[in-house]
A and B are shown apart, each in its own frame.
Chain A
Amino acid sequence: MAFAEAVLRIEDLRTYFHTDAGVVRAVNGVTLSVAEGETLAIVGESGSGKSVTGLTIMRLLARTPGRVEGGSIHFRARNGKVVNLLDLSEDRMAELRGRDIAMIFQDPMSSLNPVFSVGDQIAESIRIHHRATRQEARTRAIDLLRQVGITDPESRVDAYPHQLSGGMRQRVMIAIALACDPKLLIADEPTTALDVTIQAQIIALLKALQRERNMAMIFVTHDLKLVEEIADQVAVMYASQIVEQGPTTEILARPRHPYTRALLDCTPHGARHRRLSPIPGSLPNPIAPPQGCRFHPRCRFAKEKCVQTDPLLEPVSADHVTRCIRWDEIEL
């Protein structure tokens, strides 16, 4: 993808956590980019580094043992200037955060303040970044609530988070995130805690709002079937690294990494009493991941050379890469 149209471009990002037990290289050399109007899904299981990637972009690791130890995160700001988010002062980052880049999380209840009405919380987000009177901000908050599909926004604007259902709270979070018309939205498992009929509504809403605003979106999820619904591009993460990346339709139809194939195979999709194919073994120890290819202990195609070589991302086609040295000699 040409850099000209990228809203965000991450290169060789490394985020490490220094714990008593040792160093966890949670994000270990991640490179990716996302363009205007495009959705990139980062998919992976627990501990793959997908969420830490999102938090690193937002620079929300300050109060954790997490440190960025390398790489760059170039972001095209509203004025067209490209900045490396990792070089910005905390004040400058705070200006960008919420205005140019917004984030929503799995659990809206822990992101909303229980003692303020939802209207106050949306209005606060508007008034931090824009000059607006109290009344203007309230009018805008009601308008945003309507846009995210909340019925009777004139009275709901005064509701407190506990008075709303889980689905409605997530709609409020989306309203807050979109209050300043960000160029990039990072959504970390935004529908995982929701019922499936509500999930379908929220996904439809996110897609519609993104299309309207031509916003870029990074969608972090563990659910490959959700990736199929929402993403143009997908990056598959395993043990802190991207193992495969490319257009969603191509990756899901013709995966070129054994882990992606295995992930697709173990996902149940229909047919009674069909035998599922689990991935043998367990997720790797984050402090001491396996030598060579991190997936080799669980990979049915692994050979001696997979243990000895640290695989690099190799191009399969113009926009499809895989971190497997055997990709062109195996049948997936």
Chain B
Amino acid sequence: MSQQIIFFILAAVILTSAIAVVTLRNLFHAALALMVSFLGVAGIYILLEAAFLGMAQLLVYIGAISILIIFAIMMTRRLMQTSESPFNAQAIAALIGSLIVLVIMAVVVARLYPLTPSTDSMFASATTVDPVILESSVARMGRAFVSADAYVLPFEIASVLLLAALVGSIIIAWPRSGEEDNL
């Protein structure tokens, strides 16, 4: 029961701040709402007993991506004037399209999985797992990342991807020669 209350609080926080992200005029306020939304998602991970992912969410999303976004907003600050509409001409069509996507996904979920909590099936409430299994999940994940019969190749490719993104974003954002004065 207390888990359900926590879930509803987290869901309310996530959805309210997500709606604020897409509707607020002031982009800086939207970025702050985005941080709140990320925090709520980290709480959901911890509620799902994936504490490592929750911490990674805190570090990567709130610590890095949000700060990056705020930096980008500040570097393009002159365009933050709040007089004109933040939405483009197709905002209403976009709202209808998003609602259709939401309804389709909700109908599919409602038809496939039970909506009320009960102990009848594994989908109606999470099966109780031996706490040792959950506690060792991070160790198992670490081994899976580096064992040859699991995910070592995707792991190394992810390292290369991060390096490429690092170098690429520096190259892209580097001012061309003679342009430094305008910064």
Q: Do A and B originate from a single complex?
A: no
User: Chain A residues in contact with chain B, CB under 8 A?
Assistant: none
